[in-house]
Each structure stands twice: as C-alpha cells, then as structure tokens.
C-alpha cells in the first residue's frame, strides 16, 4: 500500500471519462494494489471518498468511507466500500442542497444540489455484484465520486458561483449553520 499524489483541478485526467475495469481483472494484483492505494490515500488525506482518476488512474473505481472525520463532522458514518464499474442512479426527483469540497480542489467549497436517494450498482474488490439504495447525505458522497469517473467536478454543479468559499471562511462563517442543517436532513 502507498499514499499516492492526488492530482488537482487542471490535470486532464480529471476531465475525461474513466474506462471500465474488465471483470476478469478485478482480482488482479494491479487492481488490488490500486484499491489498497485508494483507501490509504483517502484516509491519509482525510477524505470521505476517492476516485481512481484523482490519483491519475483513468479507471472506474472509487472508495468511500466516513468515520470520525474532522473535515465532515456532520456526515453519518459509512463503512468502507470499494466500488468497481459503479452506476449511481437517482430514485426520485427529490434533491437537497449541500456544501461540498474535493481533495482535487484543495481549499475550496461550494453549494450544489444532489439527489436525495440513489441506487448503487457495483462490483466489489472480489468481483461480487451489489445493488443497494442510499438516502440522505451519504447519497451525495456516492454521487460526488461517480462524477469523478465521468470527468465532472463539483464546481461544474455549483449553480451560483457566489457560494464558492475557502475552507477557512466556511469554517469561520458557515460550517456550524450548514452542518446542523445537513445533519437534520440525513
């Protein structure tokens, strides 16, 4: 396992759709090492998720996990999930407003809307297929990571650029208010 460099906005890999992992290669040493590195890098950076394109690997793989995370104290805990070739499908038109940040866009947050309930369909690191429904703030985490696989960044979804803020200003002026509102939603 290794902590890899997280590429920043402007790197071309973040703007291109990632390629599917052939099912027969999921359990290969190469893909297993990639998964281990994604988990290690996400944890080292304090993220709630990390997609392979964020470490300059253009494959459809991401990981999510939310434990006691000081960057996201309002997010509910999520056990570690490894998603290979995932599909995230909205289950309704209901949305919620969230303030998101991204490890590939350091020091910036912005307001956007996410679907309130989604269906996840994916293969895990052993190649086993899973389908599950996720509701609330956690659904936004999966949508954010899925966007990375499609070459979309959260700033592309921000409707009002005046909501963009630095991490410092968010912490000083908005975090408590938004965290309470978001925690009540989940």
The tokens describing 91, both together, are 């289950």
Helix (H) or strand (E) holding 129: strand 129-135
The tokens describing 85, both together, are 């070739």
The residues that bridge with 110 in the sheet, in sequence order, are 100
Q: Where are the alpha helices (DSSP H) in 62-185?
A: 137-149, 154-157, 167-173, 175-185
The helix/strand/coil state of 20 is coil
Q: Which residues are catalytic?
A: 145
Helices (H) and strands (E) in the chain, counts: 5, 8
Rounded CA separation 65/42 (Å) = 9
Angle 78-82-86 (CA atoms, 0-180°, nearest 5)? 105
Rounded CA separation 131/123 (Å) = 9
Report DSSP state, residue 50: E
């Amino acid at each position: 396992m290794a902590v890899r460099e997280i590429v920043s906005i402007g790197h071309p890999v973040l703007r291109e759709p990632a390629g599917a992992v052939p099912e027969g290669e999921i359990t290969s040493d190469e893909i297993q090492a990639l998964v281990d590195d994604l988990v290690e890098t996400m944890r080292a950076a304090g993220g709630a998720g990390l997609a392979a394109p964020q470490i300059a690997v253009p494959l459809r793989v991401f990981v999510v996990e939310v434990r006691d995370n000081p960057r996201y104290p309002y997010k509910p805990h999520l056990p570690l999930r490894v998603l290979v070739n995932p599909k995230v499908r909205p289950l309704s038109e209901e949305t919620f407003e969230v303030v998101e940040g991204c490890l590939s866009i350091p020091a910036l947050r912005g307001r956007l809307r996410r679907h309130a309930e989604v269906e996840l369909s994916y293969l895990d690191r052993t190649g086993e297929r899973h389908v599950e429904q996720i509701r609330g703030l956690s659904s936004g985490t999966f949508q954010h990571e899925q966007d990375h696989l499609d070459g979309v960044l959260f700033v592309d979804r921000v409707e009002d650029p005046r909501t963009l803020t630095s991490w410092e200003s968010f912490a000083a002026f908005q975090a408590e208010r938004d965290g309470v509102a978001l925690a009540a939603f989940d």
